Amino acid sequence: MEEREECSFIFTKSAKEDILDLLDKKVGDRGTIVEKDNPEQEVLSFESQELSLEEFGGVQKGSEVFISNNIVSLMKLAKKG
């Protein structure tokens, strides 16, 4: 099995909306993250909560699982390893 290169991928706070665009998402009228092609569809965090741009902390595998930057959410993520 091919080894995956160890590399971290991060983005700056100012690049958040550009990253969302690259993921075909955007900030909707209510200030939460929505699908670009279907703004009625909210993008939920891995805890099934709506995410504002401010709360948006990143994405991980699992059909694009969105991550909140709230410390309680990050603690759950950290425990998974």
Partner 1 sequence: MVGALDRLKGLFNIDINSPIINVVYKKNSDNTTNSHNEVEYNKSERKLDVILDNISPEKNEKLKPIIGELINEDHKLLEEETADSLRGLIEYNENPGEDTQIKKFFKDILQPLDYEALESALYLRKKFAEGNDVSKAKRDLRERFGDRGGNIANLCTGGYFEDFLKPLYNSSPDKFKQLYESIVGKSIIAIFVHKNMDEDEIAYQLSTKITACKKYGIDFLHIRGIGQSNVQKIKEFIEEHKDEFDFDDKMIYESDDKGIIMVELLLDS
Q: Which residues bind partner 1 (CB under 8 A)?
A: 2, 4-16, 18-19, 21-24, 56-61, 64, 67, 69-72, 74-79, 81
For residues 19 and 27, is the Cβ–Cβ distance under 8 A? no
Whichever of 34 and 67 has its CB closer to partner 1, that residue is 67
Whichever of 2 and 40 has its CB closer to partner 1, that residue is 2
CB of 28 to partner 1, least distance (A): 19
Cα–Cα–Cα angle for 11, 43, 46, rounded to 5 degrees? 80
Whichever of 18 and 31 has its CB closer to partner 1, that residue is 18
From residue 53, give the alpha-carbon distance in Å to each of 7, 25, 48, 79: 25, 11, 16, 24
